[in-house]
Amino acid sequence: MFIELLDLLRCVNAHEDTWLVASFKTVSNRFVLDGTLGCPTCSAKYPITTGVADFTAGADLPPRKTGEWAATLEREEVATRAGAFLDVTEPGATVVLGGSWASAAQELSLMTGARVLSLNPESGVEESETVGLLLVGSEIPVAPGSVLGVALDASFPAGIVASAVKAVRAGGRIVGPTAIPPPSELTVLARDEDYWVARKAPEVIKLSRAGR
């Protein structure tokens, strides 16, 4: 995990948003290869092993689905779809890609300049200064409203969509599998037999009226 990406990560337990305190065992060229992220509020510990941060807290990972369309497509094409679905047009923004979407993490980051957190990536996805690899259960370990978009596949438990809604900023987008229904607070923009694309409500800016 590149050291600057650690700032994006938060404890997944239910309490006030807190930074994690990192202790490093092995660091190479500002990449943390082995270490621990500790929560100062609830004392939870999240290990980083060979560069991958583990937020599962010992729970089993969701089983990997095989035969999904993303596995059969070129990574560039998956990246193009993810970029379009999530409307990634802002260099430096943070995007979360899960499961089969995560296979396109490097390509999406190169194409858009976005930082990408890859949840439960398939083998062969490399980390970089802009791509972090994470293992998660049903919680996405980022601050509320801190990411531009989240794309998930059917390998995740349904509960993760609530976490995605929290993680995405106002007006941001979520891509989810048809196996998990989109939450009612989202506006569904498009859907096909595999995925839906939805938007979180944009922030309402109140304009003051002069003369009243």
Is there binding between residue 108 and Zn ion (CB under 5 A)? no
43-51, 61-69, 93-101, 185-193 -> range binding Zn ion (CB under 5 A): 43-51
Q: How far apart are CA 181 and CA 202, in angstroms?
A: 21
8-11 — which CB contacts under 8 Å span 24+ positions? 8/94, 8/115, 8/117, 8/132, 8/142, 8/143, 8/146, 9/37, 9/46, 9/53, 9/134, 9/141, 9/142, 10/141, 10/142, 10/143, 11/39, 11/41, 11/42, 11/44, 11/141
188 binds Zn ion (CB under 5 A): no
User: How far is Cα 44 from Cα 112, in angstroms, rounded to an integer?
Assistant: 34
Give the residue with the Cβ less far from Zn ion, 15 or 30.
15
For the bound state, the minimum distance from the C-beta of residue 12 to Zn ion, rounded and expressed in Å, comes to 7
Residue 212 tokens, joined: 């009243």
To Zn ion, the closest distance from the beta carbon of 14 in angstroms equals 9
Q: Is 3 in the site for Zn ion (CB under 5 A)?
A: no
- Residue 57 as a binder of Zn ion (CB under 5 A): the answer is no
**How far is 9 from 96, CA to CA, in rounded Å?**
12
Least distance (Å) between residue 15 CB and Zn ion: 6
| Other C-beta atoms lying within 10 Å of the C-beta of residue 10 | 21
Question: Residue 11 interacts with Zn ion (CB under 5 A)?
Answer: yes
List the one residue from 3, 31, 33, 44 that touches Zn ion (CB under 5 A): 44
Question: Which among 103, 72, 86 has a CA at the least distance from the CA of 150?
Answer: 86
Examine residue 13 and tell whether it contacts Zn ion (CB under 5 A). Answer: yes
Nearer to Zn ion, 103 or 146 (CB): 146
Identified binder of Zn ion from the candidate list 41, 49, 80, 138, rule CB under 5 A: 41
Q: Is 39 in the site for Zn ion (CB under 5 A)?
A: yes
> At its nearest, how many Å lie between Zn ion and the CB of residue 37?
10
Residues near 122 by beta carbon (within 8 Å), at least 6 away in sequence: 64, 71, 99, 100, 102, 103
Closer of 42 and 170 to Zn ion (Cβ):
42
Closest separation between CB of residue 21 and Zn ion, Å? 11
Minimum distance, C-beta of residue 20 to Zn ion, in the bound complex (Å) = 8
Sites of contact with Zn ion (CB under 5 A): 11, 13, 39, 41-42, 44
